Amino acid sequence: MSLVVADTSVWAREHQSTVAAALAAAVRANLLAISAPLVLELLRSAPSAARLQLDAARYDRLRFIEITTAVVHRARAVQAALAWRGYHRGPSAVDLLAAAAAESVDAELWHCDRHFELIADVTGQPMRRLGA
């Protein structure tokens, strides 16, 4: 298994047995990475301040990918390429940054969101649809 970035669409499905098993295996192997936009999006759905703290501590134990200027430029370039195809309003800013961050460290991006398939059509980066 290579380094992996799991999108929020995968984290939202962690109750599914196949998703839970894949995430657990990646964590055990220290191959699960995350970036600030994903953390912020995940913490946004916390039902309380106490839960937010617990979840933040969990994400803080993962490998962290910095959102550099190069990552932002790549996300914007992919957005521009999508615009030429008529899809620039599909992937969100978090989707674009997550994909660019994953690409910057040669990580496979796990998702359950068709927007990432549009991104992969532009970037050719490794992605895996996980969950239902």
Q: What is the pLDDT of residues 47-61, one digit of tens each?
A: 999 999 999 999 999
Under the banding of pLDDT at 50, 70 and 90, the label for residue 44 is very high
What CA–CA distance (Å, rounded) separates 70 from 47?
A: 34
Task: Say which CATH class 4-129 falls into.
Answer: alpha beta
Provide the pLDDT for residue 130.
95
Q: Are 104 and 66 in contact (CB under 8 A)?
A: no
Q: How many CB atoms lie within 10 A of CB 51?
A: 12
Provide the pLDDT for residue 18.
96
Q: Where are the domains of the chain?
A: 4-129
Provide the pLDDT for residue 1.
74
Q: Are 124 and 109 in contact (CB under 8 A)?
A: no
What CA–CA distance (Å, rounded) separates 74 from 72?
A: 5
For the chain, counts of helices (H) and of strands (E): 7, 5
Write the CA distances from 122 to 20, 53, 61, 84, integer angstroms: 29, 36, 31, 11
Q: What is the pLDDT of residues 75-107, one digit of tens each?
A: 999 999 999 999 878 899 999 999 999 999 999
